Amino acid sequence: MVCLSHELRKKNTSIYTSTYIINLYSMQEKKVSIQAQLKDLENIATWFEKDDAFDVEEGLRKVKEGAELVKKLKTRLKEVENEFRELEVEMTEEE
């Protein structure tokens, strides 16, 4: 992600605008990634729900995969939250 200092943003609006567009594009790409990971988690849950009898080894693998997805999603969601907060601060500073 491109990040410019507050002073540079004040001096050069076109660079700030370009950065803002790049950030929005980046957020849009990552949104798809978040949605895909949530779908993967849903698929794992469905796998466990569909059968009472399943392979224990495969179940363990899916639990590990799900735990890793949850960890990645928590990290990414915190990043997105921080990006929104940064945008809010930037928008407030411009007023």
The predicted pLDDT at position 8 comes to 43
Q: What is the reported pLDDT for 26?
A: 64
Q: Kindly list the distances between the CA atom of residue 60 and the CA atoms of 44, 46, 53, 72, 73, in Å, as whole numbers in the listed order.
A: 11, 15, 13, 18, 20
**pTM, two decimal places:** 0.60
The mean-pLDDT minimum among 5-9, 26-30, 82-86 falls in 5-9
For the segment 12-49, what is each residue's pLDDT rounded down to a tens digit? 445 555 565 666 666 665 665 899 999 999 999 999 99
| The pLDDT value given to residue 14 | 53
Of 5 and 36, the one with more pLDDT: 36
